Amino acid sequence: MRLIPRALNSALVCGVIGVVVFLCLAEAAGRLGIISTAAFPLTSTVLVTAVKLVADPDFLPDVADTFIGWALGLAATVVVAVPLGLLLGSVPPIERALRPVTEFLRPIPSVALIPLAAFVFSDRLEMKVAMIVYASTWPILINTIYGLRDVDPVAKETLRSFGFGPLAVLLRVSLPSAAPFIATGIRVAASVALILAVSTELLGGGSDGLGSFIAVAESSPEGITLIVAATVWAGLLGLLTNGAFVWAERRIFRWHTTKTGAAQ
């Protein structure tokens, strides 16, 4: 067991170095003509525009709108998907019966459903939340089912032999043991949800959010730079939220990390 580098400092330093190197490479690709600047703006141009967007009075409220839609959507997804995953994961006959339906629905792109959702929902926020729930349920659902399958059978048997009922086994052994899997699922779902929030705003119309900002930017010949700059913001939002999730996961699953001696 090597010394666990706990200093947040070094993670920050390493991360910053990584990002700077990456940005330099991207800038070089533009300057050397690997990526045509006629078709795609230079990294530096994008960054400058992205920073300037803060001064745009319409922009920050848009970011806030996207964030709210994302948070509501993700919360709704967790409420729907985790219990469903626990049910399907612990009662295999139901999972088997519903599998044709879930496997059929899963690959249907939400992008294709947006026109239909626009017809069904008379409220845009509801529609956004619904699209997020539809698309980001799957990672949580699947990870939950996989997590339950990976539960140590000895532990389950032990509890069962002590006379605990199936629900107690589920809550005392299966759920804690599957929790890291579920957490990873939620983290993946969080980024899917962000993508869906922006895509629904972009393709479903409305006047709020990063997506509508992108839609309006399409009116301008300089639109491409604005669109990419807004996309950078979407990426930043994802970066921040993911950081929060990782932090929370580490606090909650410290026992798991120590148990498996995770190299972090």
Partner 1 sequence: MRKFVNGLLRLWVVPVVLVVWELSTRAMEQAFFPPPSKILATMGKLWFSGSPLTLFLTDEALGNFPHSVGRLLAAWVLSGVVGVTFGVAIGRSPLLYRFVDPIIQFGRALPPPALLPMFLAIFSTGTKMQVVTIAFGVVWPVIFNAADGARHVDPLHLETARVFRFSRTQRLFRVILPSALPKIFAGLRLSLSLALILMVIAEFFSTEGIGYQLRLAQREFELATMWGTMIILGVLGYLLNQLFLLAERRALVWHSSARRNPA
Partner 2 sequence: MSGLRRRLRVSAVLLTATALFAAGCGGGGSDSSSANAGGLEKTELNIGMLPLPETAPIQIAIDKGFFKAEGLTVTKPTIIAGGAAGMADLLSGKLDVMHSNYVSAITTVAKGAGKLKVVGEAWTAKPGNFALMVKKGSPIKSVADFKGKTVAVNTYKNVAELAMLSLLKTNGLTAEDVTFKEFPFPQMQGALATNQMDVAFMPEPFYQTAASKDGAVLVAEPFAGPTADFPIAGYLVTEDFAKKNPKTVAAFQRALVKATEVAISNSAEVEAALPKYTKIDRATAELMVLGGFSTTVNATRLQRVADLMTDFKYLDSKFDASSMIYSGSAS
The whole-angstrom separation of Cα 181 and Cα 186 is: 9
The whole-angstrom separation of Cα 110 and Cα 117 is: 9
Verify binding: residue 199, partner 1, rule CB under 8 A.
yes
Residue 53 per-residue DSSP state = G
Look at the chain and count its residues: 264
CB of 160 to partner 1, least distance (A): 14
What residues from 66 to 125 belong to the interface with partner 2 (CB under 8 A)?
A: 97, 114-116, 118-124
Residue type, 174: S
**Total number of residues that touch partner 2 (CB under 8 A):** 34
Verify binding: residue 171, partner 1, rule CB under 8 A.
no
Residue pair 70/238 in contact (Cβ under 8 Å)? The answer is no
**Partner touching 263 among partner 1, partner 2, none, CB below 5 to 8 Å by kind:** partner 1
Verify binding: residue 224, partner 2, rule CB under 8 A.
yes
Residue 63 per-residue DSSP state = H
Judged by phi (left if over 0) then psi (alpha if -120 to 50, else beta), residue 220 lies in beta
Of 137-145, 169-177, 217-225, 246-254, which segment contacts partner 2 by CB under 8 A? 217-225
Verify binding: residue 55, partner 2, rule CB under 8 A.
no
Q: Which residues bind partner 2 (CB under 8 A)?
A: 36, 38-40, 97, 114-116, 118-124, 202-207, 212, 215-224, 226-227
